[in-house]
A = this chain, B = another copy of it.
Amino acid sequence: MKIVTLRDIAEQLNISVTTVSKALKDYPDVSKKTKMQVRELAKTLNYRPNAFAVNLRTKESKTIGLIIPVIVHHFFSNVIKGIISQAEKKGYLVIILQSDESYTLEKKQVELLLSQRVDGIIISLANETAKYNHLNDIIAQDKPLVMFDKIAKIVKCSKIIIDDRKAAYLATQHLIDIGCKRIAHFRGALLPQNSIDRFLGYKKALLDNNLPYDPALVYICECGDMSFEEGKKNAIQLMEDHDDIDGIFINTDLVAIGAMTALQNLGVKIPEDICIVGFSNWFMSSVISPSLTTINQPGFEMGKAAFKQLFREIKARKKGKHFEPKTVVLETELITRASTKITV
Contacts and interface: CB of A to CB of B under 8 A. Distances in A.
Contacts of A115: 48-49, 51
A48 B114 contact: yes
A287 interface: yes
A50 B51 CA distance: 14
A96 B98 contact: no
Interface in A1-25: 1, 3
A63 B261 contact: no
A94 B93 contact: no
A118 to B, nearest CB: 9
A142 B1 CA distance: 8
B56 A81 contact: no
A80 interface: yes
Contacts of A287: 228, 257, 261, 284, 288
A141 B257 contact: no
Contacts of A289: 288-289
A302 to B, nearest CB: 14
A95 interface: yes
Contacts of A140: 1
A88 interface: yes
A116 B51 contact: yes
A257 B286 CA distance: 11
Contact of A93 (B48, B88, B97, B137): B97
A137 B51 CA distance: 18
B81 A93 contact: no
A77 interface: yes
A77 B73 CA distance: 8
Contacts of A142: 1
Interface string A46-60: 101111110110010
Interface in A60-87: 61, 63, 71-74, 77-78, 80-81, 84-85
A238 to B, nearest CB: 19
A264 to B, nearest CB: 9
6 contacts: A50-B56, A63-B95, A72-B81, A80-B96, A228-B287, A284-B287
Given A50-B117, A71-B84, 11 more contacts: A52-B56, A63-B116, A72-B74, A72-B77, A80-B96, A84-B98, A88-B97, A93-B116, A261-B287, A287-B288, A288-B288
Shortest Cβ-Cβ A-B pairs, 7 listed: A52-B56, A52-B55, A289-B289, A284-B284, A72-B77, A48-B115, A71-B81
